[in-house]
Amino acid sequence: MSSPAPESTPVVVRASDVSKRFVIRKDKSLKERVVNFGRSNKHKDDFWALRDVSLEISAGSTVGLVGANGSGKSTLLKVIGGIIQPDTGIVQRRGRLAALLELGAGFHPDLTGRENVFLNGAILGLSRKQTEQYFDSIVEFSEIGDFIDTQVKFYSSGMYVRLAFAIAVHVDPDLLLVDEVLAVGDEPFQEKCMAKIREFQKEGRTIVFVSHSSAQIEDLCDRVVVLSHGEAIFDGGTVDGLEALRESFGR
């Protein structure tokens, strides 16, 4: 009996011609404000943070998203995660998503760490019972101890990231989006996060990883996408990608 032909690897994320526009308000001088009183549309500019970005990410891959400051990495990650909507194009995504985006994103400042764990669990699709089941393990991974009952507005940057990362890796995600945030964790915690990400890779989960650390990208990623002024200017192997990144600076 012949074995069935292997299915091609499923696509977890498909972004097609995605563009994102922001309206930038320019500061006006006092004189301009007086002269143009009530007619201020001149001072709005369109700014394309992403332009026609297309990419497919297959299950089990780890994609490094790199580029200069302001090149559109966080914007693309948010569009992939469905946190913001693109102005053109579409994003298709399958499976459970966990996103580690900007500091404090997804946390309610007035709630305690404990309350935020339950809030996030609910947002990420866990029942209260499931979150209860993971709760001790989340707190243990985060190492924030008794601060779990402190309002998160009093957390340090590192404490935020510790709790957010601990939650993200406990909700059994198929797709994990990680923005630069890990960098605010201290070295032992960063190492722990990297180890967890490696474990996720072995389990066949899909990861999109934004970092300014070429060493981390080289270490973790099997593919690199380089953004420059909102455009994907390179998509391919890690070594060539990091070279393309260096060339993109100053463009």
Ligand X SMILES: Nc1ncnc2c1ncn2[C@@H]1O[C@H](COP(=O)(O)OP(=O)(O)OP(=O)(O)O)[C@@H](O)[C@H]1O
Written in H, E and C, the secondary structure of 178-215 is ECHHHHHCCHHHHHHHHHHHHHHHHCCCEEEEECCCHH
* Residue number, 87 or 115, with CB nearest to ligand X: 87
* Residue closest to Mg ion when measured from CB atoms: 74
* Residue number, 64 or 121, with CB nearest to Mg ion: 64
Query: Between residue 60 and residue 79, which ones bind Mg ion under the rule CB under 5 A?
Result: 74
Is 201 one of the binding residues for ligand X (CB under 6 A)? Answer: no
Distances (CA, A) of 150 to 109, 110, 160, 189: 10, 9, 12, 20
User: Of 60, 64, 72, 81, which lies in the binding site for ligand X, with binding defined by CB under 6 A?
Assistant: 72
Q: How many residues does the chain have?
A: 251
User: Of 73, 162, 170, 205, which lies in the binding site for ligand X, with binding defined by CB under 6 A?
Assistant: 73
Which conformational region is residue 143 in: left (phi greater than 0), alpha (psi within -120 to 50 degrees), or beta? left
Choosing among Mg ion, ligand X, none, which partner's interface includes residue 70 (Cβ < 5 to 8 Å by kind)? ligand X
Strands 97-100 and 175-178: parallel
* Residue number, 45 or 56, with CB nearest to ligand X: 45
Is 49 one of the binding residues for ligand X (CB under 6 A)? Answer: yes
User: Of 34, 38, 69, 129, which lies in the binding site for ligand X, with binding defined by CB under 6 A?
Assistant: 69
Of 37-45, 65-73, 146-154, 240-248, the segment contacting ligand X by CB under 6 A is: 65-73
Q: Which two tokens stand for residue 75?
A: 């914007």
DSSP characters over 93-106: E-S-EEEE-STTTT
